[in-house]
Amino acid sequence: MKNLLILMFIVPLVSFSAEVDNFTDRDKPLADATQIINQAANHYLDDAITTANKKGSCDKGRLYNRIRLNFRDQYQDKFAHYVHTSPAVPKRKTKIKDSIYGQFSALDSLIMGGLGMAYDSNAPVLNIHGVQIGGDKFEHFFGMGWYYFNRYYLKHQSIEETLNFGLGTETGILGSYMTGVISYADLSANFKGLLFWNHLLHEGKDLLTFDRPMGPYIKCEEGKWKRTTDVDLSLYIDNGWDEAINCSQYSRQGLFTKVQRSWTRLNTTCPVANENVQEIEAAYGPYASYVLNTKGPGVLKH
């Protein structure tokens, strides 16, 4: 029983603590997954709406709960599991031992050098309209995005408190302690997830200006929830989600040195040539400093 409880605690943490290698084989062709990903997202959203409608009329709490069951992480939902496992989704997978984290030991990183190495928790890379992102970013977008949304829109915490909560998870147990990697691309996906969850019913004021109106995707019509427009996830995705552009930092110099050796082997660096996260800084407005690393890779200074 004790081992089962430990497993129930560890598995969700490992899911959110999975890393991705956006550098290895970066220049090899990778088919655009946008259409397939959007089809899956709308399918699982419809599935959640249908289930929510079975027990009464337009209950927001029930709707959110059903959507969260389909959009959370690869071990507990349908969408992320589909992204990670379906052969229909074009993706590039690099095993941890062959990745930029391949030199990490279990003492370096509980996940990347230990547990994750045993069952290879490295996330695949997908091409979404020319942006290369880790499959784990959808888990941050939906999973952590929900927690941001709940704090800011439902519990009315300040946006600073909400974003600092995210920073705390990435520099704490979900990032620094579990993997040794502090991923600003994760934080970018978290923040965009906050916006997505608001766009579902669009009850709160938007934090960013988009090129076109975003949501509501779902409305209550004749006592039933109905999806009224397609979700296009690519509209939320930018180079801030790409760890080869929005560079990570590391908990200790030894880890950073090992990653630098891998970059040398691949003849690359971070940010990758001719691309810089500062190009998208304006799009995040006053929230950029919470989700973008404009200083480049290095060791996190507490």
DSSP letter at 130? T
Specify the pLDDT at position 275. 80
φ, ψ of residue 216 to 5 degrees: the values are -70, 140
- What pLDDT score was predicted for residue 1? 40
Please state whether beta strands 125-128 and 249-250 pair in parallel, antiparallel, or not at all (unpaired). unpaired
DSSP 160-226: HHHHHHHHHHHHTIIIIITTSEE-HHHHHHHHHHHHHHHHHHT-S--SS--SS-----EEEETTEEE
Element (H, E) at 95: none
State the pLDDT at residue 175. 58
Q: Cα–Cα distance between 205 and 153 in angstroms, integer?
A: 9
CA separation for the pair 2, 157 (Å, rounded): 36
Cis peptide before 216 (omega within 30 of 0): yes
Q: How many CB atoms lie within 10 A of CB 210?
A: 13
Virtual torsion, Cα 71, 73, 76, 81, nearest 10 deg? 90
Q: According to the model, what pLDDT value does residue 185 have?
A: 97
DSSP count for the chain of H helices, then E strands = 11, 7
DSSP reduced 3-state for 139 = helix
Per-residue model confidence (pLDDT) at position 4: 31
Per-residue model confidence as pLDDT tens for the chain (302 residues): 433 333 333 344 444 456 899 999 999 999 999 999 999 999 999 999 999 999 878 999 999 999 999 999 877 889 999 999 999 999 999 998 899 998 887 666 666 656 655 556 689 999 999 999 999 999 999 999 999 999 999 999 999 999 999 999 888 766 566 778 999 999 999 999 999 999 999 989 999 988 888 999 999 999 999 999 999 999 999 999 999 999 999 999 999 999 999 999 999 999 997 788 888 999 999 999 999 999 999 998 76
User: What pLDDT is stored for residue 302 in this prediction?
Assistant: 62
The pLDDT of residue 3 is 35
AA letter at 209: T
* Tokens read off for 265: 């082997």
> Global pTM?
0.91
Q: What is residue 13's predicted lDDT score, i.e. its pLDDT?
A: 43
